Structures are given as structure tokens and as C-alpha cells.
Amino acid sequence: MGGRRTDDFEAFVDARGPRLLRVAWLLTGDAHLAEDLLQTVLARVWPKWHKIADGEPEAYIRKALVHTHASWWRRRWRGEVPHGELPDRAALFDAYEGVEQEEALAAAVRALPVRQRSVVVLRYFEDLSVEETAKVLGCAPGTVKSQASKALRALRAVVPEPVRTSDE
């Protein structure tokens, strides 16, 4: 890696990496896996950077994140196994304000089927339209709507407070 193309790429990663990492976290529900996923995708994107840099590289990478995560899921490399014993959260997280909420969200995300996760990421975190989401996922808009409804129900059940508008 060298030259201006590298500088552009690294500047992009520096600028947009934090947001893309959040997308990856929402897909994986795990900080380590999120970083792995992002680095994997960036490494795959780099050879094509000269083609996509002038377009919408973030959208391209976002799509790659979703599809790479789905492929990991299919290969069962997601490393998400039921925990036989749950940690004592009160003892664990006393010192870390907000970590408990983050853990709850991570658990809720991991409980979602991969397609629903993707829809949550694209529709509700990246704020894409139904049609745009369907295009990224390669499915019908109706599928996006149904998956979004299921995901909303699931998240409401697992993390009830955030979707109570009365609290907003």
C-alpha cells in the first residue's frame, strides 16, 4: 500500500471508521467481532478502492459489511453460543455507567436472526428507506417490511424501555 490512493483510503478509514464500526457492532453485537468484520471488509475493499472512491464508498462498505456478516453467519463463524451462566451484572458493571444498557442491546441484537439484524441496521440505524434496504439485501420491499416488524417486536420484548415513546 502506498501513494495517494493509500492516503485517501486511510483518510476515509480514519474519518468514517468509527461510524462503520458502529454498524459492524450492531451486526455482530460484539466489539471484537465488529473490529474483525470491519477490517475484513476494508481489506477486501482496498483492491477496488480506485473504482469506488469517487462513488459512494461508505454505502459500498456498508453493503459489504452486511453481506460479509451474513456469509460468516452461514458458515457458523459467528461464535455466539448460549451462556450457561450469566454474569452478575450488578457486580460487573457498577463502575461503568451505560455498559449494562449496551450489554442488553448486544444480547438483543445477537438474538435476532441475521436478516432481521441487517434490516435493523439498514432501516433503523443507517436510516435507509424500505426500497433502499431491499436493494442492499437483494430482497423484495415486502420482505423488508415483514422483517422489520418482526425485529421491532423482538426488540420490544427484549429491550422494552427504548421503544416506549411515552418515555421519550
Partner 1 sequence: MSDAAGDHTGNHDQADQERALREFLEREVPRLPASEDRMRGVRERIRRRRRRRAAAAAGTTALVGIAAAGLLLPGDPPAEPSFVPPAAAPTGTVFRYAELDGLSLRLPPGWHGTATRKDRMWGKAGPVAYLTSRDLPQPFATCPADVNGPCPPNRLTDGGSVLAAVSLDRSVALHKKIRTPAGFDTRMLGPYCRSLGAKRELYGLFAVGGATNSHPATAVVTLCTYGPATATAPLETALRQALATARITPSETNG
| Beta carbons within 10 angstroms of residue 147's beta carbon | 23
Question: Is residue 159 at the binding interface for partner 1, with CB under 8 A as the rule?
Answer: yes
Smallest separation, CB 64 to partner 1 (Å): 13
Phi first, then psi: give them for residue 138, nearest 5 degrees.
Answer: 70, 40
Residues 99-118 contacting partner 1, CB under 8 A: 99, 101-102, 105
Smallest separation, CB 165 to partner 1 (Å): 4
Cα–Cα distance, 49 to 158 (Å, whole number): 40
Question: Is residue 38 at the binding interface for partner 1, with CB under 8 A as the rule?
Answer: yes
Question: Is residue 155 at the binding interface for partner 1, with CB under 8 A as the rule?
Answer: yes
Question: Is residue 92 at the binding interface for partner 1, with CB under 8 A as the rule?
Answer: yes
Cα–Cα distance, 16 to 126 (Å, whole number): 13
Question: Is residue 129 at the binding interface for partner 1, with CB under 8 A as the rule?
Answer: yes
**Interface contacts to partner 1, rule CB under 8 A:** 1, 10, 13-14, 17-18, 21-22, 25-26, 30-36, 38-40, 42-44, 46-47, 76-77, 79, 81, 83, 85, 87-88, 91-92, 95-96, 98-99, 101-102, 105, 120, 123-125, 127-132, 145, 148-149, 152, 155-156, 159, 162-165, 168
